[in-house]
A = this chain, B = another copy of it.
Amino acid sequence: MYKELTTSNRILMGPGPSDAHPRVLKAMSTPLIGHLDPEFVTIMDEVKTMVQNTFMTKNNMTFVVSAPGSAGMETCLVNLLEPGDEVIICVNGVFGGRMADIAERCGAKVHKVEVAWGTVVSPEDVKKALDICKKPKLVALVHAETSTGALQPIKEISDLVHNAGGLLMVDAVTSYCGIELKVDDWNIDAIYTGTQKNLSAPPGLSPVSFSDNALKALENRKTKVQSWFLDLSLVKNYWGGAKRAYHHTAPVSSVYALRESLRIVLEEGLENRWKRHKEVHEVLKTKLESLGFRYLVEKQYRLPNLNAVFLPEGNDEALLRKKLLNDYNIEVGGGLGDFAGKIWRVGIMGESCTLNHVNMLVSALHDMKEFRN
């Protein structure tokens, strides 16, 4: 028999999840109601409106996938792609690579635009790809690469993609509610995100939005969507429409938590939230650099909320990370892929984006005799 659940009181400063607000945790413990209860339908409607507000979109096809961000990624791709479609996928880290993998599983012909991890894709890179694949069904980009801390400019590439008649798909998992993101202004056709980053809700859901043009592509499909669970032609009647049709059972408690986290974001205001992430980043950056850390990404393309940094020479990153966790209860992330063992990913996202978080981490590093400055 197992004992009661006990966990250490962690300070979450990795690539996510981030610390959840006590109000969000409290909302999760609300007793269940039925997923087709009129009260729950109202909650879904409220969540939908708040997701539209935080995506800055009027897209009616805005909803929440009942699974984590990776399933949101797959939702966009399986609904928009059919076997034989040509697509351009920009790859500058783990998540671009994952999009390419999924697109291939949809039977699409994938043209990859690959640039070095830690850099971003330039409009010129996309132009070159459009010279080869002149009429892509879609072009996919990662707005905020969680594996490298790079912030991808969108607007100029969006224009190129639309001029070529393609749809623009964006991964906003680590940018949503922490960094400027304007779905309608930037003409994004399909976007997905997660809940466990700047939103500071528990992981497990993926807000998604489709433009009218993306919906048209869905309506014009010749083949069925390969996933039943993620098929938007079915899900859309569950998340909207005059008459709700049962599709699957929504994760009631997780939706409660999402609703509360969205309320907190809108109380603060999106622009204030973006500003807070920038300001706290400046303080963190100054302190980390004074300790000898060096940023992976060039200044102008740096994510404020996910700081990918090389440790000062002569440090054992795995040992330090373990000690931070065990002695100080502070979690920071390690590197992925080629950067495994070389960088840390320090997240200051949502509720984890405070001066106290910065000071806790920096003070702990100062304390640790194993850390070489």
Residues of A within 8 A of B (CB): 1-2, 5, 7-10, 12, 14, 16-20, 25-35, 37-39, 43, 46, 50, 66-71, 74, 78, 98, 101-102, 104-106, 194, 196, 202-204, 224-229, 246-254, 256-257, 259-260, 263, 266-267, 325, 331, 336
With a cutoff of 8 Å between Cβ atoms, the chain B residues found around residue A229 in the complex are 67, 70-71, 74
**Judging by beta carbons under 8 Å apart, are B34 and A10 in contact?**
yes
Shortest beta-carbon distance, A264 to chain B, in Å? 11
Shortest beta-carbon distance, A97 to chain B, in Å? 11
Q: Given A20-B32, A67-B229, 8 other A-B contacts at CB below 8 A?
A: A8-B39, A10-B37, A18-B32, A25-B31, A28-B253, A33-B331, A70-B228, A204-B251
With a cutoff of 8 Å between Cβ atoms, the chain B residues found around residue A248 in the complex are 68-71
Closest to A14 in B: B34
CA distance A32 to B38 in the complex (A): 30
CA distance A8 to B31 in the complex (A): 9
Closest to A102 in B: B228
Shortest beta-carbon distance, A330 to chain B, in Å? 11
Known: A66-B68, A250-B203. A34 touches B5 (CB 8 A): no
**Judging by beta carbons under 8 Å apart, are A194 and B12 in contact?**
no
**Judging by beta carbons under 8 Å apart, are B20 and A69 in contact?**
no
